[in-house]
Structure 1
Amino acid sequence: MIAHHSILILIIGGTAFFLFGMSIASDNLQSLAANRVRDVIAKLSTKPTLAVFAGIVITVIMQSSGAVTSMLVGLGTAGVITLPQVMGIILGTGVGTTITTQLLSLNIAEWGLPIFAFAFLVHFMTHRKTLSRVMQALMGFGLMFWGLEVIGIGTADLKNVEIFTSSLDYLRANPLAMIAITAIFTAFVHSSAAVVGIAMAMATSNLINLTDAFYWVYGANIGTTATALMAAAGGNTVGKQVAWSHCLHKVVMVGIFYFLTPYAAELIMTGTPARDVANAHLFFNITGTILFFPFIKQGAALIEKIFPPSASEKDFSVKYLGRMNFESPNVVLAHAERECLRMADIVISMIKDSILILKNENIDLADDLRTRDNQVDMLNREISLYITKYTDQNDGALNKEMIRLFGFAADLESAADVIDNSILELARKKHSLKLDFSNEGWSEIISLHDAMIEVAALSVSCFQTQSKDLAAKVVFKKRVIRKMEKTMREAHIERLVQGKAETINTSSIHLDVLSDYRRVVGLLSNHVYTFLRGADNFNRPRGD
């Protein structure tokens, strides 16, 4: 029945099954890991050997070296891990992605549907969440095996298509073109395993030999770096360094292997086409890891020279947090507080500019807001490390003050994230859809924005002076803003009932902006409630 379909439908359909199965397996394996992947990266990346191991394990879980590297770009941009730590993980991702192709090379493709059916039945009947996740992941692998089987059925008839065989002859005579085409295709499907899987099917059908398959492996490894390069496009220099280190590592390895391909093919050939292609993928990545592992630090230094930080990034760093042991804990406290206030100034500037990005599309301002958010992330991290270092050395009263600083810095960082992750996304959506707020709606947003700026200024002053009067004003203003938001929501719903076009088109964006602005106010007010919690004349009402 399947064979009655056209060759093109079989290949495209099989690839779709494969990619969909990989997505299902990846999602459920990550759920089984309880979303601790980022924590594992941060903890295991401290030593090069552990970093390589972390890269292997996490790539097996996520089923995509490109996705792992994109995550590394985000962590590097946020300053969670350094470039030398990332280099080790990148080497591991290359090995990790070969595990999937090794599984695919097992002669069990025809068992794809039975595996899927069995896993589905268990998933359908069980009420245990963990077992259900395991079965869903197994369903994903079943679809991957079945997809590979369908691709194999489709490619088996390609030898009779003259235009295809002629194209293969041309590519065989021009290996660089073969590498380029497979790299582009890999970048398009975001999966090197899928491309290597197709190469396995074609090798099994005797359409390509092992030497040709090596070129497919080269292209797949270069193409998979496109995901991280795109993720780094809007990031800072560290993110770009991470993405380009991944790309350059693959390109250099291809450059080394390119002239040794016939010898490498002869070395690993066993006579089983699918297994040989999977082994070519494994051999390429393990060799690359072994060759580059001793030079991780030197490689990181080279990347940092090729992609140096911009002047603004180079100039931005902590100003007041010393790296020496102070005799007076009060000096430590004062320095941490000054850095916290500097962080607050950046957050307030982001709050002020958020209204501008909502009004008009401004790519430069959007990039600048992201840069400021990264700066806030860095300051929060440094303040947290600084406070943690000195907390145990101080008395109880000073420890309490440092915890207060820690909490305020964390809330500032969260407020900046609301602007960067939510408001910027809402602005992008509004501008991409060419939408405009109604005059009444825009006036409401401006009013709420002005009130938010006032609360932000009062909150920072209260943090600095520890004034009960200012704290009471912050609480009062927050309650006013809560009522404002409620009134604005009711007015918005009234305009919806009236059928106002602008209101209908921007409804979800408008309501999300109101919620996000109120959320920022709540974050900036948290420390005030902590300050007032012990006061006899203050009782925090429900709902604040």
Structure 2
Amino acid sequence: MIDLIGAVALLLWGLRMVKTGVLRAFGARLRQWIGSGTRNRFLAFGIGLTATIALQSSTATALMTASFAGMGYLGSMMAQAVMLGANVGTSIVTRLLALDLHFLAALLIATGVVAFGISHSKSAKGMSRVPLGLGLMLLSLHWLGQATEPMRHSQVLIALMTSLDAVPVLAVAVAAVLAMAASSSMAIVLLAMSLAASGTVTPALGMALVLGANLGGAFPPVAATFHHGAVALRVTVGNLLVRLAGCVAALPFLDWIAKLLSDAGSHGATLIVDAHIIFNVTLAVAALPLLRPLSNLMRRIVPEAETPDDGPRYLDPEHLDTPALALAGAARETLRIGDRIAAMIEANLEALRKSDTARCTSVAVMDDEVDRLNSAVKLYLARLDRTALDEKDAQRSDEIIGYATNLEHIGDIVDRNLRELVQKKIRGQLSFSTEGASEIEELYQTTLSNLRLAQSILVSGDSQLARQLVEAKVGIRHLEERSAANHMARLRDGLVASVQTSSLHLDMLRDLKRINAHIAAIAYPILKSGGSLRESRLIGSDQCAATHDNI
């Protein structure tokens, strides 16, 4: 059993190596190819088949397809056609792996290791993972054969398989659960192939395991797209229903199909793989003409959410005729953007403290929400009739747009800069010095405090708070300069933690300083209207300006 578990684990790891290698080498082009090449259902079917053969994972193809459908780049019908092609593609890959090519395993592994060692570009390193992964998969299949060979003499396993053979529905359920746990139908089909080759399972039972593997393999994409919107979820749920219908239709005829394949010359492992191919090809032939009704059915089963939680809440179109109400709603929506920015900064700080990659992912999701809300606020205020606004309302509109734009810039800095720095720290397993970590956290907390102050200024327009915020910006500059000087002192002392994290420390200081500059921008219009803002902080600049005016 330990040998069997290890062989299956090696198979899954090899499969992952091939998938990630292809995605790293051709990810962007592959996504573009899938998204742009689906003009008709047959072409879409071919794209799904080819992409899955390249990736050796129908799950990866399913997730990319659902993503394109969710973004509106791919229609529901074409997405379902891609999924049908992916199902056939994974069965073809299984057939290729079923060939007795284990003698190539060592050569492929050696080739992959050497190629990875001498490669320098990201795409070349990605491609070198492909032969390495294929070699590991072939080696794992050889080990699977060796591990399952003694099973034919195991009385416990024979009794278990006999009970499953008597209840095919239970066999389907067991294989489905295993495929869900492994996130791979291919691995379970190959396992069933090894059991059939050793004579542990009958042809009918092996085919029941194939049905269960196909059914279970459709669940991981559904789980992965559950929170990605109705359009993306329809693709994966539709694929699940198609596979479920195929399993229900084929289950009563397993003995007859097994006899038919045996009479045609398929036996043992070959019969299992052939059944896998026939099942998916039959599903494709039956479902391709029914894509339109299937698409309509999925719209009923998975309807659009009435009001997305991450959409605007206070931008009422009916208030556009009343500028005061419209501006109040836009201000409330902009405060929501500020709250999301605060949550992003807090999540980034927690990820930094705990080396938590999940929080890094949440930062990226929140930044997408900030972008959507910012666009909604600007488009809403753009619909106001500027000729109907008095000077005060026009100025208020500009303040809200300016603040929302600055918040959006802050979100980009947190997502594209600070998040990347935290991920770099996690990947490198680096740690700041105690003093350095304390300084960075102080700068984070001060930034959050300044953001809360800016939120209050947006609501109140208070000039005293605005002056306080600008003074806090000066304090941030001094804090950043002091932290940078302290860091350089630690470098001169040769503190190992500071040497290893030098670029991270200084880059974080710079980015947090930039964020505070954007936060302070809300105060400038208020101070300028009250005559409390200089044009420049250069000494003598006001006198020079006065002299110029006199001239």
Q: Please give the range of the TM-score, normalised by the shorter of the 2 chains.
A: 0.5 to 0.7
Distance 2:303 2:256 in 1: 38
Deviation at 1:158, TM superposition (A): 0.4
**2:133 match:** 140
Which residue is equivalent to 1:434? none
Q: Distance in 1 between matches of 2:71 and 2:471?
A: 35
Task: Give 1:161's aligned residue.
Answer: 154
* In 2, Cα distance between equivalents of 1:281 and 1:76: 27
Equivalent residue letter for 2:411: A
1:451-490 map, 5 Å: 451=450
AA of the residue aligned to 2:340: M
Task: Show the counterpart of 1:447.
Answer: 446
Q: Determine if contact 1:158/1:164 at 8 Å carries over to the other structure.
A: yes
Post-superposition shift, 1:477?
A: 10
Q: Counterpart in 1 of 2:79? A: 86
Amino acid at match of 1:253: G
The superposition leaves residues 300-324 of structure 1 with CA deviations (integer Å, 9 ceiling, x where unpaired) of 221121121222139969999xxxx
CA-CA distance at 1:357 after TM superposition? 6.1
Call closer, same or farther: CA 1:129–1:225 in 2, change over 3 Å: closer
Equivalent positions of 1:277-356 (< 5 A) are: 277-313=272-308, 347-354=337-344
Q: Is the 8 A contact 1:95 1:282 kept in 2?
A: yes
1:314/1:478 Cα in 2 relative to 1: closer, same or farther (>3 Å)? closer
Quick one: which amino acid aligns to residue 291 of structure 2?
Answer: I
Inter-CA distance 438–425: structure 2 relative to 1 (3 Å threshold): closer
Supply the distance in 2 between the matched residues of 1:341 and 1:32 (Cα, whole angstroms): 45
Q: Distance in 2 between matches of 1:130 and 1:511?
A: 30
CA distance in 2, matches of 1:375, 1:45: 31
Q: Secondary structure at the match of 1:312?
A: coil
Which digits, 9 at most, give the CA deviation of each residue in 1:379-410, with x for residues without a partner? 979x99xxxxxxxxxxxxxxxxxxxx9xx99x
- The 3 A distance-change label for structure 1 pair 240 and 227 is same
Query: Partner letter of residue 91 of structure 2?
Result: T
Higher relative contact order, chain-length normalized (CA < 8 Å, sep 6+): 1
Taking structure 2 as the reference length, the TM-score comes to 0.64
Against the structure 1 CA distance between its residues 206 and 490, is the aligned structure 2 distance closer, same or farther, given a 3 Å change threshold? Answer: farther
Higher mean displacement: 449-458 or 203-212: 449-458
Shift in Å, 1:70: 2.7
1:197: how far off?
A: 0.8
| Aligned CA distance change for structure 1 residues 477 and 94 (closer, same or farther; 3 Å) | farther
Deviations 1:342-389 (A, max 9, x none): 99787445224446767999x9xx9999588358469979x99xxxxx
The equivalent position to 1:415 in structure 2, one of 395, 411, 414, is 411
Residues 1:108 and 1:380: Cα distance change in structure 2 (over 3 Å): farther
CA distance in 1, matches of 2:479, 2:303: 47
**1:501 paired residue number:** none
- Whether the 8 Å CA contact 1:485–1:518 is kept in 2: the answer is yes
What amino acid maps onto 2:180 in structure 1? A
Give the conservation status (yes or no) of the 8 Å contact 1:370–1:420. Answer: no
Partner in structure 2 of residue 30 of structure 1: 23
Residue segments in structure 1 that go unaligned for 5+ positions in a row: 1-7, 321-339, 385-404, 431-436, 460-473, 497-506, 526-536, 539-544
Partner in structure 2 of residue 151 of structure 1: 144
For the Cα contact (< 8 Å) 2:175–2:216, is it kept in 1? yes
Question: Does the aligned pair in 2 maintain the 1:59–1:68 contact within 8 Å?
Answer: yes
3-state DSSP of counterpart to 1:313:
coil
Counterparts in 2 of 1:130 and 1:83: CA distance versus 1, 3 Å: closer
The alpha-carbon deviation at position 164 of structure 1 amounts to: 0.6
For 1:212-291, what aligned pairs fall within 5 Å after superposition?
A: 212-269=205-262, 270-291=265-286
CA distance in 1, matches of 2:228, 2:188: 28
Q: Which runs of 5+ in 2 are unaligned?
A: 316-329, 352-357, 380-400, 427-435, 459-468, 492-501, 521-534, 537-551
Q: Is the 8 A contact 2:76 2:235 kept in 1?
A: yes
One-letter amino acid of the structure 1 residue matched with residue 53 of structure 2: V
Is this contact kept in 1: 2:193–2:272, CA < 8 A? yes
The residue aligned with 2:542 is: none
Give the 3-state SS of the residue equivalent to 1:235 in structure 2. Answer: coil
How do 1:7-22 and structure 2 match up within 5 A? 8-22=1-15
Query: Equivalent residue of 1:247, what SS?
Result: helix
Give, in whole Å, the separation in 2 of the partners of 1:191 and 1:141.
16
Map residues 171-210 of structure 1 onto 2, 5 A cutoff: 171-210=164-203
* Distance (whole Å) between structure 2 residues aligned to residue 78 and residue 100 of structure 1: 29
Alignment match, 1:463:
none
How many residues were matched structurally?
450
CA contact (8 A) 1:455 1:478 kept: no
RMSD across aligned positions (CA): 5.4
State the 1:148 CA deviation: 0.8
Q: Distance in 2 between matches of 1:166 and 1:309?
A: 48
Instruction: Report the residue type matching 1:23 in the other structure.
Output: R
Shift of 1:420: 11
Secondary structure at 1:218's aligned position in 2?
helix
Q: For residues 59-85 of structure 1, give each alpha carbon's deviation from its aligned partner in whole angstroms, at most 9, with x where no partner exists.
A: 222221122223334444445444333
Query: Which among 90, 105, 114 is matched to residue 97 of structure 1?
Result: 90
- Aligned-pair identity in percent equals 22
Q: Measured at CA, do residues 63 and 488 of structure 1 come closer, stay the same or move farther in structure 2, by a change above 3 Å?
A: farther
412-421 vs 266-275, greater mean Cα deviation = 412-421
